[in-house]
Structure 1
Amino acid sequence: MMTFKQFAGKLETIPASTSWYLADLGEARGRQELYTMLERWAHPLIALAAFNLDFLCIHPFRDGNGRVSRLLLLLQCYHLGYEVGRYISLERLIEENKERYYETLELSSQQWHEGKHDPWHYVNYLLFILKTAYREFESRVGEVKSPRGAKTEMIESAVTSFAGDFTLADLEQKCTHASRDMVRRVLRNLQKAGKVECLGRGPGASWRIKRG
């Protein structure tokens, strides 16, 4: 089995039986301390991907090892604070890129039992999957917009909530998601419609709802 350590600014694979590796693992107390220790050697996502590869190479079950490895991937991502799997299916992305999955797994598992394998094919593949998931999530979030006219309705509702006189600044405090220009535009439209009146001039002027 191989692990990672950083030498002179670059990552290299070394045998996991190395004395300092075993000694440091023995001193680790609890999962969080272990993650902190691993972070000194390599980025946690690299360690996560290497663990996933090791699990697949060990092949502990007669069937279902791939599904279990993906569940472990999801669980470890959650532990490390990468929760994109809650919103974007990593299982689906792996299925959509299954040819690359099998190719990189085959390349990285060669000579695994001798500790002479190259894990980077599979590590880079899993990093690609996570990167794709975050890009898809970002794209979906960007598509979520307020319904047309929602901000106008919010400003109009805020205006009617005032029992007495109010200023532009008072209205802006209630409509933090709308720009000042939009607040002014809605106020002018309400004024033209005869629903509000301005009691002065300038940005500090008071406004009042017309009653009756």
Structure 2
Amino acid sequence: MQEWLDIASVWVAAAGIFAPLIFLGLHIIRPFLFIPVSVLCLLGGVLFGFWLGSFLSILGLWAVCEWFYWGVQKIPWLHRKINHLKESYGGQRKWTISQLVMLRLVPFMHFHFVSLLVMDYAKTRSAYRFYSLVTIVPTAFLYTIFGRSLTKLPPLVVLGSVLVLGGFILSARQKLTTLAWEEFFAMAEPSKSRAD
């Protein structure tokens, strides 16, 4: 692991000012290379440290969100395909912003699926930009911190963090009761007969 870190440090030093630009470019083409967001943010922490790595990851992910919004609005077949994905996996469920933040934190959650859920939540472009940023910042910070301290964390701490995150996801879910049409009216009939 240390050899890999040494090679990465040499690469960043050799690339100079172009290293952050290359990293931003990697964020932008990440969807085409099928690289998970978590992996790229971890890499940002390893290569650039916490502050610069977080900043670059936030910029890169925000640029991808803007690209996604433009693509869904301007390309009809992409909009249909993404909506089909949402209906298949998200249903008609209404998500809260805290749930969307936690979905972004799930390591291999499809980034654009969550972007679509943010788009449904926000309704306007300016609101989408704001909520995209709200959901991106914790993700960038968390994975960049992990990337920075990856070599120092024992596996038990990593496992504990994943379990705590899972608990947060479960506790923040929206609690709904769904009644079938017949059940609803069956419950209403006894009160109607008492009134007669």
Please give the range of the TM-score, normalised by the shorter of the 2 chains.
under 0.3
Structure number, greater radius of gyration: 1
Greater relative contact order, per chain length (Cα 8 Å cut-off, separation 6+): 2
TM-score (norm 2): 0.27
TM-score (norm 1): 0.25
Question: By percentage of residues, which structure has more strand?
Answer: 1
